[in-house]
Amino acid sequence: MAEAHAPTAHAQHAPQGFIRKYIFSLDHKVIGKQYYFLALFSVFVGLLLSILMRWHLVWPDAHIPLLDKLSPVGAPGGLMTPEYYLSLMTMHGTIMIFFVLTTAPQSGFGNYFLPIQIGAEDMAFPRLNMLSFWVTLAALLTLLSSFFVSDGPPLAGWTAYPPLSAVGSVSGPGEGLGQDLWVISIALFCVGALLGALNFIATTLELRTRGMKLMRLPLTCWAWFITAIVGLLSFAVLFAAGVLLLLDRVGGTSFFVPAGLIVSDKILSNHSGGSPLLYQHLFWFFGHPEVYIAILPGMGITSHILSCFSRKPIFGYRAMTYSLMAIGFLSFTVWGHHMFVSGMSPYTAFAFSVMTMAIGVPSAIKTFNWLGTLWGGRLRLTTAMLFSIGFVSLFVSGGLSGLFLAQPPVDVNLHATYFVVGHFHLVMGVAAIFAMFGGTFYWFPKMFGRMMNETLGKIHFWLTFVGVYAIFMPMHYLGVEGNVRRYSTFIDDFMQPLLPVHKFMSIWAFIVGGAQLIFIFNLFWSMFKGEKAGINPWESTSLEWTVPSPPPHDNFAGKIPVVYHGPYEYGVPGAEKDYIMQDSPEVVAESH
């Protein structure tokens, strides 16, 4: 509301001075970059944690240098305790899910490109936009600070199930102050995500330029829009769950903590009658839509890139938008499939199972449309294109194992095994990361005015592509063999023979981790030394490619474009070039 008196919040006058321009900026492009770099920092923290875990898993006696400096208690002499392994796992999951997968594809690229792609000068509420970034940063710092408190980060997993997460330090190291910080961090993150979602929705609906009908929106915008709606409805529920959990921890209430609990040989007498399952329901009502919050923007980016580098219209534009909507809707009806082992009624489980498999339908529509887009295209195998094809590959590989897990009787066996770890890393984690890489290579010229190095990009792609399959495919085998997840070592005799597989995966994890340094070098080197980029290096059609690279402060230098065409007019017979920009008044006769 504070903005109502200043409706010209983003006139052409760019703010002067470093602080207003780069730190407390209201410009959606700067905020988008801030989100992007926040996620980039976070992904390397998360990656480092996973490498420490893989290291410890296969060489449990190895002393990891410097780790005892970070946590003298958690890793005395560099040898991590089982509890500290769980802490690293918790932080890995939390950082990756919230601060990478939720942040970069939606808040990062979305903030930067949604307004430009719809022909707007900024987001609807620039001040709220800035606020949501700073709240998100505060959330990240709060979370990371738990590494430096006395008993370390929490160990209750990224899902933070009570009672473990609700009864305080009696339940383990990190469950005191560390878990408090976790809950506060997540609640803050929810606030930032809600403000961002509200802004995205209002921007998409209200700020489109003339001619930009909903059915002319690039699929990226559709994906950001649907994701914002899903986020608005689900983060509110996580926020509520977080409040209740915090009250159980510090307010002495018993929403989630049952009576007569014995933890660490102590009877907890100050709680009564709470229900841990209640938390699980609330959490997964958020948690499953969250999976789609992570992947839908990636689907949008992939669709956009595939069409451009196939030089063909996206196959089935309308089907693509409807399937995005269907996935967004169905994502709210399937949360129970995360709880098949919670003792739920088989009838309920059956209902959740059916809904879960129903998501396969819109997902398959998307997959076949991607393949249909590629089919017969004049493919330009740029790095961005490779990563987008990689996205499709990973989405299929990871998605198919979801059909196994959607069956309650199968899931009961596989639930606590590496099968699930392999499934969600491929379909959500790595696939979304590939979309981010694709988006980075595709949009880097626009964001920084220079091209990224394609050779380095391709080396990075192939190492990563082969590597992630080498890491995550064997996990399915391990899961079927009964290899339990979340264990810090495999001392049980039936898991001992599986250790060579783990070694194989760990070595590939180190290789893939190292390969990311190529990306980092490419990113920062290209920012300063890359070849200068023109306005439209990829011969794309959407509006961001009609403005200079990087775009001026108000995106269009006062000349708001008018849109005449859909976003994917590639390979148009009779057109001057083989593509038609969205704002081109060019008319081409209908031809078949």
Partner 1 sequence: MASTVLTPPKHRAPSKSDSIGGNGHGWDGDGFGGGRGEPSPAGRPIPLHAYRMGMYMALAAILMVFAAFTSALVVRRGISNDWVPTALPGLLYLNTVILLASSATLELSRRALTAGRGEAFAQWLYATLVLGLAFIGGQLLAWRELVARGVYLSTNPSSSFFYLLTSAHGIHLLGGIGGLIYLVLRARRIVSAAKQRTIVEIAALYWHFMDGLWIYLLLLLTVRS
Q: To the nearest whole angstrom, how small is the minimum distance from the Cβ of residue 131 to partner 1? A: 13
Residues 127/191, Cβ–Cβ less than 8 Å: no
- Taking residues 540 to 579 in sequence order and writing x for each that binds partner 1 by CB under 8 A, - otherwise, the string is --------------x---xxx---xxx--xxxxx------
When binding is defined by CB under 8 A, the residue of 156, 212, 392, 421 that contacts partner 1 is 212
294 CB contacts (<8 Å, ≥6 apart)?
A: 97, 101, 102, 105, 428, 429, 432
Q: To the nearest whole angstrom, how small is the minimum distance from the Cβ of residue 522 to partner 1? A: 32
288 binds partner 1 (CB under 8 A): no
Q: To the nearest whole angstrom, how small is the minimum distance from the Cβ of residue 489 to partner 1? A: 37
Angle formed at CA 291 by CA 464 and CA 224, multiple of 5 degrees: 90
404 CB contacts (<8 Å, ≥6 apart)?
A: 410, 411, 414, 419
Q: To the nearest whole angstrom, how small is the minimum distance from the Cβ of residue 303 to partner 1? A: 15
Nearest-angstrom CA–CA distance, 360 and 422:
18
Nearest-angstrom CA–CA distance, 428 and 515:
20
Nearest-angstrom CA–CA distance, 220 and 541:
13
Site for partner 1 in 146-205 (CB under 8 A): 194, 197-199, 201-203, 205
Residues 372/316, Cβ–Cβ less than 8 Å: yes
379 binds partner 1 (CB under 8 A): no
**Cis upstream peptide for 346 (omega within 30°):** no
* DSSP three-state, residue 207: coil
9 binds partner 1 (CB under 8 A): yes
Site for partner 1 in 297-336 (CB under 8 A): 311-313
Smaller CB separation from partner 1, 4 or 66: 4
Smaller CB separation from partner 1, 198 or 470: 198
- Taking residues 113 to 152 in sequence order and writing x for each that binds partner 1 by CB under 8 A, - otherwise, the string is --------x--xx--x------------------------
Q: To the nearest whole angstrom, how small is the minimum distance from the Cβ of residue 579 to partner 1? A: 10
When binding is defined by CB under 8 A, the residue of 24, 77, 141, 206 that contacts partner 1 is 206
Q: To the nearest whole angstrom, how small is the minimum distance from the Cβ of residue 166 to partner 1? A: 13
> From residue 259, how far is each of 165, 254, 265, 358 by CA, in Å?
15, 9, 15, 39
Nearest-angstrom CA–CA distance, 293 and 226:
9
418 binds partner 1 (CB under 8 A): no
Residue 557 has what DSSP assignment? T
For tokens 């159980």, the residue is: 248
When binding is defined by CB under 8 A, the residue of 160, 166, 282, 414 that contacts partner 1 is 282
156 CB contacts (<8 Å, ≥6 apart)?
A: 90, 164, 165, 175, 179, 182
Q: To the nearest whole angstrom, how small is the minimum distance from the Cβ of residue 217 to partner 1? A: 10
Number of chain residues interacting with partner 1 (CB under 8 A) = 84
Site for partner 1 in 508-527 (CB under 8 A): none
Q: To the nearest whole angstrom, how small is the minimum distance from the Cβ of residue 509 to partner 1? A: 37
285 binds partner 1 (CB under 8 A): yes
Residue 107 has what DSSP assignment? I
When binding is defined by CB under 8 A, the residue of 20, 21, 127, 281 that contacts partner 1 is 281
Q: To the nearest whole angstrom, how small is the minimum distance from the Cβ of residue 277 to partner 1? A: 8
Residues 135/188, Cβ–Cβ less than 8 Å: yes
7 binds partner 1 (CB under 8 A): yes
When binding is defined by CB under 8 A, the residue of 137, 232, 473, 518 that contacts partner 1 is 232
Q: To the nearest whole angstrom, how small is the minimum distance from the Cβ of residue 347 to partner 1? A: 18
Smaller CB separation from partner 1, 1 or 66: 1
Q: To the nearest whole angstrom, how small is the minimum distance from the Cβ of residue 580 to partner 1? A: 8
Residues 192/141, Cβ–Cβ less than 8 Å: no
211 binds partner 1 (CB under 8 A): yes
Nearest-angstrom CA–CA distance, 372 and 502:
37
Angle formed at CA 124 by CA 122 and CA 127, multiple of 5 degrees: 85
207 binds partner 1 (CB under 8 A): yes
Nearest-angstrom CA–CA distance, 477 and 481:
6
- Taking residues 244 to 273 in sequence order and writing x for each that binds partner 1 by CB under 8 A, - otherwise, the string is x--x---xxxxx---x----------x-xx
Smaller CB separation from partner 1, 247 or 470: 247
